[in-house]
Amino acid sequence: MSRKVDRVPVNLDSRGVAELPFADVKAILRGADDLVMRGGRSLLSQILKGARRKRLLELGLDTSPVFGYYRKLDAEQILARIDWVILKGYLRIEYDHRLPLLVYTNAGWEIEKETYAEELSGMFQAAAAGESVQFDVSELKDKNREVIWLLLAKLQATGNPELKPLLEAWANVDYKKVKNRIQQVMKKLGESPA
């Protein structure tokens, strides 16, 4: 006979938040990326607040691109916005034993993968332009394939041949399927449009 698990209850309350700008939805979803099935609403609110809590720092969550996005809001206001995103169907709560954890819905994932691919594309282009950007292509090796395919499509669409050295470095460290797609992109870069 299994023991009953006392799940931590979740009471969602958007506290009168009627609408959020799309940029805010994207920021909340981007902050949730490191927490999917690992953390919940409270941890996400701390990231968005820019809290310097020990656990947050130990997990490296202070490196999130949206760390401190809602710096000027209080914890209750941030949580209301997170709850709004959940209630609107961009995120959902799933339980791991007794703890409520965040998970993307299909709608939320569609927004997040576009946001993340765009962010990576910007980093790629900045690094290729010689701007001082910390960017290690080997970190792309185990990223979600949907994000990688979208990133490669975005890089190909730039037509920028200056991306080739970075793409080549990436191809040297990634798996065969990704390497083949990178090589296709490199062939297209710099070709004159037909």
26: domain CATH number is 1.10.10.10
Let me know if residue 7 belongs to a domain. no
Residue 103 main-chain phi, psi, to 5 deg: -145, 145
Let me know if residue 6 belongs to a domain. no
Where is the domain boundary, 58, 77, 104?
104
The average pLDDT across 116-135 equals: 89
Q: How confident is the model at residue 4 (pLDDT cuts 50, 70, 90)?
A: confident
The average pLDDT across 89-103 equals: 94
Let me know if residue 12 belongs to a domain. no
* Average pLDDT value over all residues in the chain: 93
**Which amino acid belongs to residue 143?**
K
Rounded Cα–Cα distance for residues 33 and 45 (Å): 13
For residue 158, what are the domain limits? 110-188
Where is the domain boundary, 104, 125, 159?
104
Statement to judge: residues 121 and 100 lie in one domain:
no
The average pLDDT across 91-119 equals: 96
pLDDT of res. 133: 72
Where is the domain boundary, 83, 104, 125?
104
Runs of H (alpha helix) within the chain: 22-32, 41-49, 54-58, 75-87, 106-128, 145-158, 164-171, 176-188
CA atoms within 13 A on the CB side of 186: 14
Nearest to 50 by CA among 15, 21, 25, 78: 78
What phi-psi label fits residue 89: left (phi over 0), alpha (psi between -120 and 50 degrees) or beta?
left
The average pLDDT across 166-191 equals: 93
User: With contact defined as beta carbons under 8 Å apart, do 93 and 100 qualify?
Assistant: yes
Statement to judge: residues 97 and 28 lie in one domain:
yes
Let me know if residue 13 belongs to a domain. no
Rounded Cα–Cα distance for residues 67 and 45 (Å): 10
Statement to judge: residues 100 and 46 lie in one domain:
yes
Statement to judge: residues 99 and 30 lie in one domain:
yes
Rounded Cα–Cα distance for residues 67 and 64 (Å): 5
Statement to judge: residues 99 and 121 lie in one domain:
no
Q: CA geometry: angle at 146 spanning 190 and 154, to 5°?
A: 25
The average pLDDT across 47-73 equals: 95
Q: Is 69 helix (H, G, I), strand (E, B) or coil?
A: coil
The average pLDDT across 31-51 equals: 96
User: With contact defined as beta carbons under 8 Å apart, do 82 and 35 qualify?
Assistant: no
